[in-house]
Structure 1
Amino acid sequence: MPKMPGPLHHGGLPGTSLPVAPFDERAAADHVSAAGEGGLPSLVEQVAQVPTDPGCYLWKDAAGEVIYVGKAKNLRARMKQYVTLSDDREKIPLMMQLVASFDYIVVDTEHEALVLERNLIAQYHPYFNVDYKDDKSYPYIAITKGDAFPAIKYTRERHRPDTRYFGPYTDSRAARETIDILRKVTPICTASCAEWKRVKRLLEKNPADADLLALVCAQKGRPCFDYHVGRGPGVCAGAISQEDYARNVKRVERFLSGRRSEVIGDLKADMAEAAESLDFERAGRIKRRLEVLNGLDDRQQVVFPAQVDIDLIGFYREETIAGACVFVVREGRTQRTCEFILDKGQDVSQEELVSGFVKRYYDETSDIPSEVDIACDLEDADLIGAWLSEKRGRVCHLHRPQRGEKRHLLETCERNARHALMRYMIRTGYADDRTNQALLQLESALALPAPPLRIECFDISTIHGRFTVASMVVFTNGKPDKSQYRRFKIRAELDEANDFVSMQEVLGRRYAPERMADERFGSRPDLLVVDGGKPQLTAALTQLEGLGLDIPVCGLAKADEEVFVPWDETPVVLPTGSASLYLIKQVRDEAHRFAITFHRELRDKAMTVSILDEVEGVGPVRKRAIMKRFGSMKRLREASVEDIASVQGVSVDVAQAVYDTLRS
């Protein structure tokens, strides 16, 4: 947070109502250019008065809630991209329909703007910014640096200025285990120890009498249990000075920062010194601590031959949710793995998702490596690197590995992020909740009489009118019902691709009275989706009208994901990232996949038949035997004469003829 940020300036339109789905860019453009009540200037006019200094901007809705926070090197230029809709991110039109006012804060440098942006996001948790999905507090290992005898603790508290935090740890068991191992290596008090709390209270009451208090503790103190088993240094019994205790704390901090080789070096030096002094009991204790460290290193995977300090961050995105996985590598070893669930997915760009997570994650940890590896280039990578370097006290930069061990490990991070996201979705029932939400949204947006529990979708696949096929896929309760899938060969003679005729034919066959009465085709659909725009929708409506059927129907165009409906000339645009858009796109893509698969089967079969029919001596029996043996034309083309001749009933001469024909 900059020490002296500029004043908070306000702007906006009071009383602007929230839009409801569906929305479009025209509505957003009209909204930002409309004048406010009482002739107040529009958002466009107000943004024109914003200064060109660096700073942060806060977009607000009609209720005054902050819905997005951003930073800019030039506030006016950046905010102008929003109100003119020249920012090409998909979420911008919807967000700008919600915006009723804005604030901005001027700072001196772009670096200050970055720090301020992170603080504002943490304060307001805006809906359109990338954040943790559940926003729970993750556990940290903390050192209470503000105390005369700093203690270690496991905590989920908000960060305090006099405490140093290590983490976050997404596995609470791993955090507690780390503290347990650490205290075996270097004795240190825990903040939960009753005797440590007693000494702390005494020191707070008499801060100038630390030496006297140590004497009192030595004479009257009650040693805690940890002191007797070697995990406590004996602050409660006056057994250690502040200087010696400070050395222990420093060693703990190096351990938690991943600099374990330094800790091992210190312990070896202490053991050698104890042996020279003939203090074999102390040397034995230090040896046991070294054995704990060596055992810990044996459990950790070596991923780099050099002692590098790197964080690798992988992501896996679904439509509106994402998983993130961080591999923390210190001194060439994987120290820990952290997994997070984010509240944005494919509804924002990969760059925005990665940048938002990196800022959030490193804002809350002091454990910063020399390099952070990510899978994409960021526009503000240099700025983030400078911020991390300042926090670390040494150079830290963002890097996108293209090949080698780092790239391989980053792909492993991405696989772990995918598994973390899948576990979260199963554990929380996220997919089921989202499916129910999608069905209700479709009911509202398409003016259906009820949620579309059974959706049928048709797609046509052809090459210039040849091998024309149609697919029918069925989604029941928002999920694929593959037992109900059907595919059709188009019987009409076509000289060229004609989706209009093909769609009419397949719908006429599917919804013919005998098919509607056939239980194998399932029940009447609640919604019929055709892949395409207005022509395909018109063909479907014409055919259904001829059959005397009243089935809700819509067409989904590929280009802009617009939904064409019979009751409005203007297509419906479902909000980007909405559950309804994700579901209807999933239905459309599944129909397309099923049609393409059938089309390719017919085309490959026709090619196989025509080629083998040209070979003298190859009849139906031998043709079936050859194709059964090789399975596909690709494998048959790769086969040698000897391979083909190994098929039962195929002579060497016939095999040579097949081989030559395929080569010709």
Structure 2
Amino acid sequence: MPDLSGEAPLPEEQGAPSIAEQVSQVPTSPGCYLWKDAKGEVIYVGKAKNLRSRMFQYVNLTDDRAKIPLMMQVVRGFDYVVVESEHEALVLERNLIEQYHPYFNVDFKDDKSYPCIAITESDVFPAIKYTRERHRKGTRYFGPYTDARAARETIDTLRKAVPVCIASCAEWKRTRRYLEAHPDDAAVANIVLAKQGRPCFDSHVGRGPGVCCGQITTVDYAENIRQVEQFLAGRRGEIIGELKEQMAEAAANLEFERAGRLKRRIEVISGLDDRQQVTFPTSVNIDLIGIYREETISCACVFVVREGRTIRTSEFILNKGMDVDEDELVEGFVKRYYDETADIPAEVDVTVDLPDAELLGEWLSEKRGHVCHLHRPMRGEKSHLLELASRNARHALMRYMVRTGYADDRTNQALLQLESALALDAPPLRIECFDISTLHGAFTVASMVVFTNGRPDKSQYRRFKIRTELDEANDFVSMQEVLGRRYSPERMADERFAATAPDLLVVDGGKPQLTAAMTQLAELGLDIPVCGLAKSDEEVFVPWDETPVVLPSGSASLYLIKQVRDESHRFAITFHRELRTKAQSVSILDEVEGVGPKRRKAIMRHFGSLKRLRAATPEQIAEVKGVPEQVARDVWETLRAWEGEAAEVAERAAGAEGPAAAND
């Protein structure tokens, strides 16, 4: 992992040209570029139609991706490779990423290989096998599968439908060695093996074709292999049609035992299809890729649809999340996934418009041998299935985080990073954050949220009504009041407030809010580490430096402190709106003639909320004890009139609340 401390770049060696000067000498040809850190390690690989122009976007920071400024801080050099076309650059980029595993490129979270189902096509009698190997010459791969058990069960089901050898069979291995040593016998292999072969267990029970003892010719076995590949490619309808024809032919020839075997094979395949969800009314072959992202981790879910049916779903954990753009994340996954599989459909659907969609489509078409389209559906069944794939990706990511303890590790990392970045004496195990919410000085409230060991501690949340009379929004005064009340000697000794000072105090806002907090803490004689978090650029203001601290984009520390700030904002807004709603309900009933404090209290106690009261009929309102029918009718009519003005009132309130939101 490169050093992401955010320090300024090291000075250039004496007399050495700058990175910009070196880039100016790069050719304008298509190719791949490799950015390197001070240790000479490759930290990012990219492709370009024009190398010099693309690399200058990094040097001049005109590339607007969030990770670029951070990455360029640690870049100390580069290499590049010139190729003939942009298509060649795409292929080379994938190979270089596979070779170097650069930190800033999108890749799988772990470097493990995913299982595939393979057919050893180069053998005289090809076999099926479960494997994690990649790209062995003469072998065709189907997958990858993220569920190893599902891959093994697929092989087991497939061999019940179409008898083929399995690569782990000892007798098949012996047969393979013999034919490799005697290639001239391949044409009459079944005759030779019938004389000197030994039957394996599978051939005894009918699951094996009997290759080892010469019971099948190479021509008939090749037909079985063709059906196996059709099955794995999702073309099961073709297999069922062929098997039905063979069964009818066997029955016509009075070969009832063979017809019975074929019928059982048809039932196996049909039973498998019955368990699949029909996703399209037409027979289409597509892959749908859904994505769900957290801050620095994400999951891709692939729905493999063949002949209109979802035959497989696979989930892959990726090492990047919201710290990269979604189109970059999707494009990186598409390159990695289809680099490892030969099962490429006629169409690949993704959740975003990719800048290089046409180029990627050409690459996929070349690998497939037929046209493959890559695009983003905006409506219809495909769009619905993409949303479903994204939901599945979310659940898969949550399961991964729980299974691996990812959230706990990341929380510990965040606390240690905050300790270092904010110069604290110890990790901030208790963090308190305050936020102010107001509407031009009316209904001003404050929230206090507490995070213990990096997690929300809702039993410690508190909310305050600001008592100071304000003619307009004044965060400075409001913040001083709430901190004075929270950290007063009485509250500091109160067990309900944990009877202790926090390890870190966070105020929502920039320098003014931080100054208010420091002033109030100084008056109370308290020495509590404090910082302010501005909304605009996510800058952290600290008392000991005029320059704000900028936590690295996508870092665990930035994610945690934003989570704390957002939670305090949510808690304050909720309380603020609650007070406004109560005030509105009281003022509306006060307008009704015949409704005094006693009846108003009885009505609100009966319905519990203004929302329920507004939904009530005049008869239901009249059921309230002490409310006459005419008064109930007047209440109902007043509420209807109020609702008629609701849109206009809401619009005015929204316009008025806009500036106030900046003060929340």
Q: Does 1:237 align with 2:213?
A: yes
Q: CA deviation at 1:208?
A: 2.1
Which of 248, 252, 260 lines up with 2:228 in the alignment?
Answer: 252
Which of 550, 564, 572 lines up with 1:595 in the alignment?
Answer: 572
SS in 1 for 2:198: coil
- 2:446–2:464 contact (8 Å) kept in structure 1: yes
Distance change >3 Å, CA 651–CA 402, structure 1 → 2: farther
- 1:443–1:452 contact (8 Å) kept in structure 2: yes
Instruction: Determine the structure 1 residue equivalent to 2:648.
Output: none
Distance change >3 Å, CA 22–CA 481, structure 1 → 2: farther
Which of 539, 563, 578 lines up with 1:562 in the alignment?
Answer: 539
Q: Aligned pairs, how many?
A: 640
Q: Does 1:363 align with 2:336?
A: no
- 2:291–2:301 contact (8 Å) kept in structure 1: yes
Q: Does 1:21 align with 2:5?
A: yes
- 1:165–1:366 contact (8 Å) kept in structure 2: yes
Instruction: Determine the structure 1 residue equivalent to 2:103.
Output: 127
SS in 1 for 2:14: helix
- 2:31–2:89 contact (8 Å) kept in structure 1: yes
Q: CA deviation at 1:585?
A: 0.5
Which of 151, 170, 177 lines up with 2:127 in the alignment?
Answer: 151
SS in 2 for 1:537: helix
Q: Does 1:473 align with 2:449?
A: yes
Q: Does 1:176 align with 2:152?
A: yes
Q: CA deviation at 1:412?
A: 1.6
Letter of the structure 2 residue corresponding to residue 242 of structure 1? T
Instruction: Determine the structure 1 residue equivalent to 2:470.
Output: 494
In structure 1, C-alpha distance between the alignment counterparts of 2:253 and 2:480, rounded to whole Å = 97
In structure 1, C-alpha distance between the alignment counterparts of 2:606 and 2:289, rounded to whole Å = 46
In structure 1, C-alpha distance between the alignment counterparts of 2:606 and 2:28, rounded to whole Å = 72
- 1:67–1:128 contact (8 Å) kept in structure 2: yes
In structure 2, C-alpha distance between the alignment counterparts of 1:645 and 1:208, rounded to whole Å = 101
SS in 2 for 1:500: helix
Q: CA deviation at 1:619?
A: 2.7
Letter of the structure 2 residue corresponding to residue 209 of structure 1? D
Q: Does 1:581 align with 2:558?
A: yes
Q: Does 1:626 align with 2:621?
A: no
Q: CA deviation at 1:318?
A: 0.9
In structure 1, C-alpha distance between the alignment counterparts of 2:253 and 2:521, rounded to whole Å = 98
Instruction: Determine the structure 1 residue equivalent to 2:179.
Output: 203
Letter of the structure 2 residue corresponding to residue 585 of structure 1? K
Instruction: Determine the structure 2 residue equivalent to 1:3.
Output: none
Q: Does 1:214 align with 2:190?
A: yes
Instruction: Determine the structure 2 residue equivalent to 1:7.
Output: none
Q: Does 1:373 align with 2:349?
A: yes
Letter of the structure 2 residue corresponding to residue 410 of structure 1? L
Letter of the structure 2 residue corresponding to residue 595 of structure 1? A
Instruction: Determine the structure 1 residue equivalent to 2:261.
Output: 285
The TM-score, its normalising length taken from structure 1, stands at 0.94
Letter of the structure 1 residue corresponding to residue 187 of structure 2? D
SS in 2 for 1:39: coil
Which of 573, 582, 588 lines up with 1:611 in the alignment?
Answer: 588
In structure 1, C-alpha distance between the alignment counterparts of 2:189 and 2:376, rounded to whole Å = 55
SS in 2 for 1:199: helix
In structure 2, C-alpha distance between the alignment counterparts of 1:556 and 1:48, rounded to whole Å = 40
Q: CA deviation at 1:75?
A: 1.1
The TM-score, its normalising length taken from structure 2, stands at 0.94
C-alpha distance after superposition, 1:484-535 (max 9, x if no partner): 1111111111111111111111111111111111111112100000000011
Distance change >3 Å, CA 650–CA 370, structure 1 → 2: farther
Letter of the structure 1 residue corresponding to residue 392 of structure 2? N
Instruction: Determine the structure 2 residue equivalent to 1:530.
Output: 507
Letter of the structure 1 residue corresponding to residue 631 of structure 2? V
Which of 386, 410, 422 lines up with 1:446 in the alignment?
Answer: 422
Distance change >3 Å, CA 164–CA 506, structure 1 → 2: same
C-alpha distance after superposition, 1:568-593 (max 9, x if no partner): 11100000111111100000000000
In structure 1, C-alpha distance between the alignment counterparts of 2:509 and 2:52, rounded to whole Å = 41
Instruction: Determine the structure 2 residue equivalent to 1:517.
Output: 493
Q: CA deviation at 1:197?
A: 0.6
Instruction: Determine the structure 1 residue equivalent to 2:647.
Output: none
Show the 5 A alignment for 1:304-323. Answer: 304-323=280-299
Instruction: Determine the structure 1 residue equivalent to 2:68.
Output: 92
In structure 1, C-alpha distance between the alignment counterparts of 2:304 and 2:604, rounded to whole Å = 52
Q: Which runs of 5+ in 1 are unaligned?
A: 1-16
In structure 2, C-alpha distance between the alignment counterparts of 1:166 and 1:22, rounded to whole Å = 44
Letter of the structure 2 residue corresponding to residue 88 of structure 1? D
Letter of the structure 1 residue corresponding to residue 283 of structure 2? Q
Q: Does 1:73 align with 2:57?
A: no
Q: Does 1:658 align with 2:642?
A: no
C-alpha distance after superposition, 1:50-98 (max 9, x if no partner): 1111111111111111111111111111111111111111111111111
Instruction: Determine the structure 2 residue equivalent to 1:224.
Output: 200
- 2:4–2:552 contact (8 Å) kept in structure 1: no
Instruction: Determine the structure 1 residue equivalent to 2:275.
Output: 299
Which of 301, 324, 345 lines up with 1:325 in the alignment?
Answer: 301
Q: CA deviation at 1:297?
A: 1.1
Q: CA deviation at 1:407?
A: 2.1
SS in 2 for 1:367: coil
Instruction: Determine the structure 1 residue equivalent to 2:388.
Output: 412
Which of 178, 191, 212 lines up with 2:167 in the alignment?
Answer: 191
C-alpha distance after superposition, 1:21-46 (max 9, x if no partner): 355xxx4xxx4xx8621311111111
